[in-house]
Structure 1
């Protein structure tokens, strides 16, 4: 693995008991890239994320983060993760947007440390980066699903990770705000230089926002630049997914 790669997955296979979920998956993500990971339900995307985050250990293959084998990787502050939280968040949770975002610094600084001006500024910058400044004093339970997801992304980026992994972040986001949400991710990638790995079912958005695509259905069927993925025919995509697929664009 080169120093220019944020993530490398090398011949990874995983199975639950007798069921193969991932079979000989290999791909890499260059630093500064925006990778869209797509595939049908049950294709192994969530299992792959758990392997990348060190929560599961593959039966075969290796995973490297910034050139270091995951078994030896200790610098987890360099990696941020956002799950499908908004869809199941407890709306009665008594915390403001500022407090939720600031909690993203506790792993790095310790639970009971007082924040300095530098750390308070980092919280403000993270909130501003996701477009939530005017809501920073508001209780997070009063926000919409999409706004909550923006807050969770701010929490993930407040410690300035180099790699941000997002697992279906638009679950619970109103369809009318999905495009703005993807625009925000594009801004984080282009202007803050964060390497992004986005797991999504939204194939249409993939070719408009990301730089690279990986198409997974147990095997890796495609890995390359977004422009190459956009040139694939509908029949090719349907073969990947195992059923007919109609790609929609969000551009108006």
Structure 2
């Protein structure tokens, strides 16, 4: 693989006496859409924190855009969306436009105003996630899935090259999950954003992603979508350490 946009090499991490990640090798090519799957406690969130520079590996190294993470400073090139929808304060007094615009605070400064181009970028980000009709709606009035779309717009308004999403469908109605993944697919293909999606939904992970990584302390599998689809249920069950049934949620 030539010049991966993220390169995790032989990384291990432990909390006190508990080994969470061991000898992880993971290279993510530019423009890819990686589905990161694994059971609760498998180390997925820890791996994200390591990639985001919130934790330091106790063994191994991480490179972002070809640079050691210890020297990397251009964090505006990476966007992050956490599990916000199911815990967001619905009384928060801000419109969709205002929430998305807040994603530019670091760029414009706390007490400065947006110029015409920045305002256009806010509207463009809102359009990219399909929230145009709600642009002046208070975010607390929106559904969980709609709120997550707004948080994604906030994360991409500064035009990052990588977008990391930690279980973004938590709080999203089942009937809207497929539309949510289609929106992410659009961001990946049309805007060229490299996506890392942490998910428990094994059935939908192959619908849109280009690559899959199965993590459970060790990296049990990492390959493209076609390789993943060839895995048998017994293989997945050995990764997860319990029986796994693969279901597809994609409908015509």
Residue matched to 1:131: 130
**1:75-154 matches, cutoff 5 A:** 75-154=74-153
Distance in 1 (CA, whole Å) between partners of 2:129 and 2:116 is 20
CA RMSD of aligned residues (A): 0.9
Distance in 2 (CA, whole Å) between partners of 1:110 and 1:13 is 37
Residue matched to 2:223: 224
Residue 5 of structure 1: SS of its match in structure 2?
coil
**Runs of at least 5 residues in structure 1 that lack an aligned partner in the other structure:** none
Residue matched to 1:8: 7
Distance in 2 (CA, whole Å) between partners of 1:102 and 1:5 is 31
Distance in 2 (CA, whole Å) between partners of 1:92 and 1:161 is 29
CA deviation vs aligned residue, 1:216-238 (integer Å, no higher than 9, x gap): 00000000001100110000000
CA displacement at 1:181 relative to structure 2: 0.3
Alignment partner of 1:202 is 2:190: no
Distance in 2 (CA, whole Å) between partners of 1:63 and 1:222 is 19
Residue matched to 2:69: 70
CA displacement at 1:55 relative to structure 2: 0.6
Distance in 1 (CA, whole Å) between partners of 2:135 and 2:27 is 36
CA displacement at 1:108 relative to structure 2: 1.8
Mean CA deviation greater in 104-113 or 87-96: 104-113
**Runs of at least 5 residues in structure 2 that lack an aligned partner in the other structure:** none
Residue matched to 2:52: 53
Distance in 1 (CA, whole Å) between partners of 2:205 and 2:137 is 32
Normalising by structure 2, what TM-score? 0.98
Distance in 2 (CA, whole Å) between partners of 1:244 and 1:202 is 14
Runs of 4 or more, structure 1, over 3 Å off, are none
Mean CA deviation greater in 105-114 or 122-131: 105-114
How many residues in Structure 1 have an aligned counterpart in Structure 2?
Answer: 251
